[in-house]
């Protein structure tokens, strides 16, 4: 959490670099403070108030990042003269005056220890790795691990991956891949060589998942319903990829097929299981079996 808070990208994107208090009565910039509470730790209905937002913003004053007009562009710095070093109160807990840059650490300690943070982070992780509507028992077990470990993400993920819900065969292959995941997994599964050319990135634009283009800080949606209208462009991408029609990207299709042990191995690798009778027939009759596999419903999910 601290690495994100003092990341040059975060300080620039959410105006942390201009969050400063240099004179009495000056109000801090609350952009990152609000998103820290709303998106990263507690959630929209996490129990915080506007006063909490402003108090967190005060704690975060003074952090900045050098712009291109100065030496060491991009360096993150703490400017004590631009920090509100007075006493603060966040989520019912007092933060004494005089902590300086350590106000940030104290805020993060308070947030990580909050019960709602465990529930919210666990819900987001279970939504990402299990289902768009994550099962309550898995969320509960994951939240307990988060709280027990003091917010340690590896320990939290180990608990999630050990839940019966994550290991259930019914869950396997049910998460719909977002376009970036779909494109990257197709490149990996086909052992493609690529220079990530503009033409390849243009497919992500067509699929609605262009890097760094989402307008709001909550990021691209996770839910499948948002992405299912782009299936035609997924099929177009699969056809172009298999036919080596994407500039800067190349697949050695026959070599891949032989390395995987023939058609059966190729089908099993891309589908993640043995192909059904109908899938084998479609593969043989399609005229472009590799494109069909990348466009297949089974490859759209993980």
pLDDT digits (tens, 9 = 90+) for 198-235: 999 999 999 999 988 898 888 999 999 999 888 999 99
Confidence of residue 74 (pLDDT cuts 50, 70, 90): confident
Q: Residue with structure tokens 């309550």? A: 136
Confidence of residue 30 (pLDDT cuts 50, 70, 90): very high
pLDDT of residue 23: 87
pLDDT of residue 78: 96
- The torsion angles phi and psi of 168, rounded to 5 degrees, stand at -65, 130
pLDDT digits (tens, 9 = 90+) for 249-296: 999 999 999 999 999 999 999 999 999 999 999 999 988 999 999 999
pLDDT of residue 3: 82
Residue 14, token pair as written in the block: 């959410």
Quote the CA–CA distance of 166 and 172 in Å, as a whole number. Answer: 8
- Identify the burial level of 219 via C-beta atoms within 10 angstroms of its C-beta, where 0-12 means exposed, 13-18 middle and 19 or more buried: exposed
pLDDT of residue 279: 94
pLDDT digits (tens, 9 = 90+) for 126-174: 999 999 999 999 999 999 999 999 999 999 999 999 999 999 988 877 8
Average confidence score pLDDT of the chain: 94
| C-alpha separations of 225 from 178, 202, 210, 229, 297 in Å | 10, 22, 18, 8, 15
Helix, strand or coil for residue 224? helix
Contact 163, 180 (CB under 8 A): no
Q: Residue with structure tokens 């028992």? A: 137
pLDDT of residue 106: 97
Quote the CA–CA distance of 36 and 302 in Å, as a whole number. Answer: 30
Instruction: DSSP for 243-289, please give it.
Output: TT-STTEE--HHHHHHHTTSHHHHHHHHHTSPPPHHHHHHHHHSS-H
Q: Residue with structure tokens 């998460």? A: 175
pLDDT of residue 274: 92
Question: Residue 113: CB partners within 8 Å, gap ≥ 6?
Answer: 150
pLDDT of residue 293: 96
Nearest to 57 by CA among 119, 5, 98, 121: 5
pLDDT of residue 101: 96
Confidence of residue 49 (pLDDT cuts 50, 70, 90): very high
- Encode 30-79 in three state secondary structure: CHHHHHHHHHHHCCCCCCCCHHHHHHHHHHCCCEEECCCCCCCCCCEEEC
pLDDT of residue 185: 97
Confidence of residue 69 (pLDDT cuts 50, 70, 90): confident
Region 94-101: mean pLDDT is 97
Nearest to 188 by CA among 67, 302, 21: 302
Residue 277, token pair as written in the block: 């009778």
């Amino acid at each position: 959490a601290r690495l994100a808070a003092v990341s040059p990208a975060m300080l620039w994107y959410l105006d942390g670099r201009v969050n400063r208090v240099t004179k009495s009565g000056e109000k801090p910039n609350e952009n990152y403070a609000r998103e820290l509470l709303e998106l990263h730790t507690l959630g929209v209905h996490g129990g915080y108030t506007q006063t909490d937002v402003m108090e967190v913003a005060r704690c975060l004053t003074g952090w900045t990042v050098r712009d291109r007009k100065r030496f060491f562009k991009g360096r993150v710095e703490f400017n004590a003269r631009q920090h509100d070093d007075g006493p603060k109160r966040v989520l019912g807990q007092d933060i004494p005056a005089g902590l300086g840059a350590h106000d940030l650490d104290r805020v993060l300690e308070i947030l990580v220890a909050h019960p709602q943070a465990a529930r919210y982070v666990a819900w987001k992780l279970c939504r990402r790795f299990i289902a768009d509507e994550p099962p309550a028992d898995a969320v509960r077990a994951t939240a307990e691990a988060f709280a027990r470990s003091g917010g340690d993400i590896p320990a939290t993920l180990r608990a999630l991956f050990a839940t019966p819900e994550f290991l259930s065969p019914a869950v396997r292959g049910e998460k719909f891949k977002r376009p970036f995941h779909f494109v990257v997994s197709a490149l990996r599964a086909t052992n493609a060589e690529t220079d990530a050319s503009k033409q390849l990135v243009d497919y992500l634009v067509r699929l609605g998942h262009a890097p760094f283009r989402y307008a709001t800080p909550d990021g691209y949606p996770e839910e499948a319903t948002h992405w299912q209208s782009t299936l035609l462009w997924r099929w177009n991408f699969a056809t172009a990829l298999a036919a080596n029609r994407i500039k800067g990207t190349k697949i050695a299709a026959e070599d891949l097929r032989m390395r995987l042990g023939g058609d059966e191995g190729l089908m099993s690798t891309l589908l993640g299981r043995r192909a059904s009778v109908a899938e084998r027939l479609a593969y043989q009759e399609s005229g472009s079996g590799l494109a069909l596999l990348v466009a297949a419903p089974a490859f759209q999910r993980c």
